Each structure stands twice: as C-alpha cells, then as structure tokens.
A = this chain, B = another copy of it.
Amino acid sequence: MTFTDTAELPEAASAPLSRKDHILRAARLCFSRSGFHRASMSEICAEAKMSPGALYRYYPSKDAIIEAIAEEERLAASACLAQLAAPGPIARRITDVALTYLAQARDPETGNLMVEICSESLRNTAVGERFQAIEAEVRQRFQVVLEEARSRGEIAADLDLDLALTFLMGMGDGLVMRLRLEPERPAETLRPYLHRMIASLLGADPA
C-alpha cells in the first residue's frame, strides 16, 4: 500500500519543496520507473538534477532514501486512517478511508510504486519487510476499530476479523491496481458499491 500522492505535493505545500522533499520526489519517480533494485543513486541524482556530493549530504545511501519514503508512507497512512475515528456507522467510515486511499493512489508514480512494493513483499526482501511493517500497522488500526464495532454489536458477532481484514486489504490493493488501469474512472463512482460490499462483508447495517 502506498498513501502519498506525490503529484499533489506542490499544491499541498505552497512553499518550495525542501531539498530533502525534492530528493525523495525524484527517488519515487526513479523507483516507480525502474524498481527499487534497478534504480541507482546516479539515476536519482540525474532526476533530482543534483551532484552526488550534494545528494549524499542529505541521504548517504539508497537505503536511507527508501527508509525516508517508508516513513512518509507511514505518516500518510496514519493521516488517512484518522477518518476511522470519525463518528458514524463503521461501514461508512471504512469506505471513506478506502476512497481517500484510492484517490491518493491514482497518480502513476504512486500506483507503480505500489506494484514495486508488492513485488518486494512477495520476494521477502528487506525493502518488502519494511513496507510490510507499515501494512501491519494499518491492519492493526482496522482491527481495533472492528473489535470495537463488534463489541458494540454493530457488526456480526461471529465475524472472523482476521479473514475480514484480509478481504479489506485485498480489495484495497486490487482496486488501486484497477483504477490505475482505468484512469478515466473517477474513484468516487466506486462509493455506493464499495460501501455495500463492506457492509455486507461485516454483516453491518448498510445505512
């Protein structure tokens, strides 16, 4: 899962990008284009239009850059998940989080980076493990919210939470991929069906 929409960074921050942000943005572009392994520090330098000497002052290694991107993802995920704590029915709160996530993951860099991260996770590389740790945090946040909803009687008492989480995470991954393949479809059009399926999965009132 990736949460940061690099394409929106300039709008979000009206101040010019810091040198570190500038480097991370160039690195995301290189990783999404060439993959974590193939992208080299010299490719990142070229993309950032910086000399190796200048770039290495901010990030001493490719691993340090990947770690910084993972930290950005962790913070973005956390911000996105804050919607889980909003008032309202559980299925709607989860749908809201999902749609924010899907909207953020539309841009090519983030979408391609997500596929790269999946590939790393499936191959159990160090990079994959780093991002799986973030995903474990996301899953944990959803689990707490589902447990609370179950204890309130808002979702089915016999719901297998672990399995339900597998479905929610799987739908998230799959829909990010689909929306990248169907760029003309506005993410918001998914809302009614997504909401209905989540309510049905959880055995929740579809209100």
Contact = CB atoms under 8 A, between A and B. Distances in A.
Interface of A: 35, 38, 108, 111-112, 115-116, 118-119, 121-123, 132, 160, 163-164, 166-167, 169-175, 177-178, 180-182, 185, 189-190, 193-194, 196-197, 199-201
A167 B102 CA distance: 13
Contacts of A200: 196-197, 199-200
B171 A170 contact: yes
Given A163-B189, A163-B193, A169 B178 contact: yes
B119 A181 contact: no
Nearest to A182: B166
Given A190-B163, A193-B201, A197-B201, A118 B121 contact: no
Copy tally for this chain in the complex stands at 2
Contacts of A190: 163, 166-167
B116 A111 contact: no
A7 to B, nearest CB: 15
- Output the residue of A172, A174, A193 with the most chain B CB within 10 A: A174
Contact of A174 (B121, B172, B181, B197): B172
Give the dominant DSSP class at A's interface. Answer: helix
Contacts of A123: 112
A181 B115 contact: no
A189 to B, nearest CB: 7
Contacts of A115: 115, 118-119, 122
A193 B167 contact: yes
